[in-house]
Amino acid sequence: MSNKVIQAMYDDDDVLIKAVKETRAAHHHIEEVYTPFPVHGLDRAMGLENTRIAITAFIYGLVGLSFAVWMLDYMMIQDWPQNIGGKPSFTFYENMPAFVPIMFEMTVFFAAHLMVITFYMRSKIWPFQKASNPDPRTTDDKFVMEVALHGNEDELTSFLKATGAIEIKVEDKHE
């Protein structure tokens, strides 16, 4: 399935944000915006929902903490209890203060590594994947806004020119 999109190129991030707001106000669907650097306020201008990445980081941290508690209890209390520094290993609770650094490190380890994996899976960024940006100039100093084309091409082209676009292309977007 293919559909057409109009790619409007801008050379200033402030003009881009203004164009995104005007395009949304005119009820056109913005497919994607490609920028060479993060643009403050672009997510709000596009109407994107807030991210839930902090919730997943917390859950991954809890997984790491649970694994650390299980690992320490199994290794130091059940499997091979030792009297280290005059402190016998009768229960996990009695020895927990000595285990806090390991529990903290495992929490951070699991949260960080699972967040990286989640980010790559969610963004569909895989190792050795070819870049999917529509124009190589979007990695240097230009901004591209892709708007879905559902009707009069000339009308939408003139609308985007009026928002400050310096270049406009019509492309078939294959999904």
Write out the residue range of the structural domain in which residue 24 sits.
2-50+134-174
Based on the fold, state whether residues 93 and 66 are members of the same structural domain. yes
CB of 65 closer than 8 Å to CB of 84: no
Based on the fold, state whether residues 57 and 118 are members of the same structural domain. yes
Kindly state whether residue 128 falls inside one of the protein's structural domains: no
Kindly state whether residue 168 falls inside one of the protein's structural domains: yes
Based on the fold, state whether residues 110 and 167 are members of the same structural domain. no
CATH number at residue 19: 3.30.70
Q: How far is CA 89 from the centre of its chain?
A: 44
Based on the fold, state whether residues 88 and 145 are members of the same structural domain. no
Kindly state whether residue 44 falls inside one of the protein's structural domains: yes
Sequence-ordered strand ranges (E) for the chain: 2-10, 30-34, 143-148, 167-174
- pLDDT tens per residue, the chain (175 residues)? 348 889 999 999 999 999 999 999 999 999 999 999 999 999 999 999 988 889 999 999 999 999 999 999 999 888 888 777 777 778 888 888 888 999 999 999 999 999 999 988 888 888 888 877 888 888 899 999 999 988 778 899 999 999 999 999 988 875 5
Phi, psi of 170 (to 5 degrees): -105, 125
CB of 45 closer than 8 Å to CB of 17: yes
Based on the fold, state whether residues 80 and 112 are members of the same structural domain. yes
CB of 36 closer than 8 Å to CB of 55: no
Based on the fold, state whether residues 31 and 59 are members of the same structural domain. no
